[in-house]
């Protein structure tokens, strides 16, 4: 078996095992059975179980960040860019259903140095999203909000999909993403100009003031 193919299978099996049992309870022996490789075959690629966890977390954050940067490069205005970022993030979740739960729930098992390396990517992603929100406010596409609060609200919505969403349910993944886009982007949208009051809203059919219309 090619080395890359074997490593990919080990990584996918490790993600499934850590998501199901938790990092602390997962054993390399069980991982070897799931991946259909020997324990020495696992240690050929990684030094220990923690390195597997680090690779899952680091690869996940790198993939999310790359998808977001690609979405920004593909559009030229803030609403379309932020919509693209949301879709890229959700797409990563559909393609790697266990990884986000591990990234945001089990990173504490990593050494401080390894956590710092992932936090660098997280900070870059946060800065990218906050920058899009600030750009939208400058262009008056978004209402005035705190960019950090708005960014973390978006992450909270997208990073917890595995906790409550079942793609086999009534809404398929694409329909769900459209619903989330409407909820989030409509909430950010700058209010339009107030509607001018028409003369007919105040005056009756003969041009006299209609008290009932005024009180509606």
Best CA proximity match to 192, nearest among 153, 125, 142, 152: 142
Higher model confidence: residue 197 or residue 36? 36
pTM recorded for the entire structure: 0.83
> Is the pLDDT score of 204 beyond 60?
no
Extents of the domains making up the chain: 1-46, 48-188
Q: What is the pLDDT of residue 4?
A: 67
Q: What is the pLDDT of residue 193?
A: 61
- With a CB cutoff of 8 Å and minimum separation 6, the contacts of 152 are 126
Mean pLDDT value across residues 2-18:
88
> Is the pLDDT score of 199 beyond 60?
no
In 10 A of CB 183, how many CB atoms?
A: 10
Across 50-64, 89-103, 158-172, least confident range? 158-172
> Is the pLDDT score of 17 beyond 50?
yes
> Is the pLDDT score of 208 beyond 80?
no
Best CA proximity match to 102, nearest among 47, 61, 157, 158: 61
Best CA proximity match to 13, nearest among 47, 52, 41: 52
- pLDDT digit string (tens) for 110-164? 999 999 999 999 999 999 999 999 999 999 999 999 999 999 999 999 998 888 8
CATH among 3.40.605.10, 3.30.360.10, 1.10.10.60, 2.30.30.90 for 1-46? 1.10.10.60
- Exposed e or buried b for every residue in 164-180, given b needs 16+ CB within 10 A? ebeeeeeeeeeebbeeb
> Tokens representing 175?
């329909």
1, with CB counted inside 10 A (0-12, 13-18, 19+), is exposed
> Is the pLDDT score of 210 beyond 60?
no
In 10 A of CB 119, how many CB atoms?
A: 13
Residue 85's pLDDT band, with cuts at 50, 70 and 90, is very high
CATH among 1.20.120.80, 1.20.1260.10, 1.10.357.10, 3.40.228.10 for 48-188? 1.10.357.10
């Amino acid at each position: 078996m090619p080395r890359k193919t074997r490593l990919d299978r080990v990584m996918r099996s490790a993600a499934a095992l850590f998501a199901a049992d938790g990092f602390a309870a997962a054993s390399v022996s069980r991982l070897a059975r799931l991946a259909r490789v020997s324990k020495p075959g696992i240690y050929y690629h990684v030094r220990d179980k923690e390195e597997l966890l680090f690779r899952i977390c680091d690869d996940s954050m790198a993939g999310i960040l790359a998808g977001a940067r690609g979405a920004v490069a593909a559009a030229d205005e803030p609403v379309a860019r932020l919509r693209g970022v949301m879709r890229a993030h959700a797409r990563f979740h559909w393609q790697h259903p266990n990884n986000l739960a591990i990234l945001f729930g089990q990173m504490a098992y990593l050494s401080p140095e390894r956590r710092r390396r992932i936090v660098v990517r997280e900070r870059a992603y946060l800065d990218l999203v906050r920058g899009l929100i600030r750009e939208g406010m400058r262009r008056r596409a978004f209402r005035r909000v705190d960019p950090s609060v708005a960014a973390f609200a978006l992450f909270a919505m997208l990073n917890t999909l595995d906790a409550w969403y079942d793609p086999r349910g009534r809404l398929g993944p694409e329909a769900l993403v459209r619903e989330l886009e409407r909820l989030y982007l409509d909430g950010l949208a700058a209010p339009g100009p107030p509607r001018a009051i028409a003369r007919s809203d105040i005056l009756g059919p003969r041009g006299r003031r209609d008290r009932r219309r005024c009180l509606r």
